[in-house]
Chain A
Amino acid sequence: MNFLTKKSPLDRYIADVKSYLPAKNRADIVEELRVNLAEKLANRAEDSGVEVSEESEIELLSEFGHPLRLAAQYQGEERSLVGPTLYPFYRMSVLVSLVISTCVMLSISLAEIFFRVELGDVSSPWMFVNTYIYIIGVITAGYVLTERLMKRHNYLDSWEPNAMEQPDNALASAWGALVACIAAITWLVILNLLSIEHSLETLLGQNQNPIYTLVFWMKIEIVILIPQYFYLVFNQTWSRNRLLLRIGSELILSLGCVVILFNNAGSLGLNYPDVPQSLASAFYYVLWGMIIATTLSAISYWRKLRLLEISDQLPATSYQ
């Protein structure tokens, strides 16, 4: 599947609203919204004697406001911590984080059982409970803060329909892809200068050196990225599989950082005694920064995929 059809602002808006709605009644709500918007546009055109145009669509959409706000109105009930505007994202973030952390903790537990590696109390049931509480707490706090900031700075009020992305946009220029490809190969060569053991122990952070583990995960990500960049040089449009591959490669590095945090992040100072304690502690923040950055990047690709798929399925609006 390639996403190449240009969409009108109205169809992009409807696709955007649809992407924010919960699955229940989504298709029906969107169909009704499309009918109402089309009728209003047609009536306006009839009154003014000017045919429906991109400008008239944009004018109408400005009155409706940010797609996120409209979708939130359909969610209805007020929630005390995270409001309806961000709730779908909040729920998705919690679910994804819980699934990833469960996978990591389970694979660590399995490694302990099958490979007899010593992991202390990492795989104890309390570790699971503590991790879940920690993750939910951090995500909730993040969303509560984001929502308050959005309100304070009137983020949704400053939305303009022109800012909506055309779903058929190209990934990058061929030259950009070529540069990215060369940069990735160079980075891989540099990482290879560091002699590390490519074993399961290194991958799972059982080697007492978090830098080695991080380098191993980075190498995996780069090896997946290089063919993607190479393909991009010749074909700069999105496809579902390539977007999924992109999301996967972003999440791989995120997963690697989670593994390090769980296992050997604390042993940086042991391996490099000359490194000041404050710098060793900063390593935790670096890992968290990488987790957040790669996860956000994966979310942005996931959102792009969702929008593209929705736009692809939705028929173009008719004003008859």
Chain B
Amino acid sequence: MSEKLEAMRLELRRGILILAVLNALKQEQYGYSLRKALQAVDIDIGEGTLYPLVRRLESYGLLDSRWSSEEGRKRRYYQTSPKGIETLLALQTDWQQLNKSLAKISEANK
């Protein structure tokens, strides 16, 4: 059962991760700092999942990116684009609506 539960957890988290990343990248960050920011709010996502996800969101036009060399270190910075903000708002509305619906179901089946 634990394997199945883990698979279900992963599936549940997959969609929410996009929300989390778009939210966290309202402020410009690079890959490693983004991971730390997510970890700080108890969203523990492996880099092997996070970096490709960020790339995909960028390819959809939801993130802007640039290379920068600071303190002698080359980094690629990301920030949620205007289209990304628009998408984030729409997804957040859906998420809140889903939460309300879930709460109603729970209440009705108590």
Contacts and interface: CB of A to CB of B under 8 A. Distances in A.
Interface of A: 25, 29, 31-33, 35-36, 39-40, 43, 63-65, 69-70, 73-74, 76, 320
Interface of B: 30-32, 46-49, 51-53, 55-56, 59, 72-76
Contacts of A63: 46-48
Contact of B51 (A36, A43, A69, A76): A36
Contact of A39 (B46, B59, B73): B73
B32 A73 contact: no
Given A35-B74, A63-B46, A70-B52, 5 more contacts: A35-B75, A35-B76, A69-B48, A73-B48, A76-B52
A32 B46 contact: no
A76 B59 contact: yes
Contacts of B75: 35, 39
A39 B32 contact: yes
**Secondary structure of the A contact surface, majority rule:** helix
B38 to A, nearest CB: 14
Contacts of A32: 31, 51, 55, 76
24 contacts: A25-B55, A29-B55, A31-B76, A32-B31, A32-B51, A32-B76, A35-B73, A36-B30, A36-B31, A39-B32, A39-B73, A40-B32, A40-B47, A63-B47, A64-B46, A64-B47, A65-B48, A69-B48, A70-B48, A70-B52, A73-B49, A73-B52, A74-B56, A76-B52
Given A35-B76, A39-B73, A320-B72, A74 B47 contact: no
Given A29-B55, A74-B55, A76-B56, A64 B48 contact: yes
A76 B59 CA distance: 10
A64 B31 CA distance: 14
A33 B72 contact: no
A35 B32 CA distance: 9
Contacts of B48: 63-65, 69-70, 73
Contacts of A29: 55
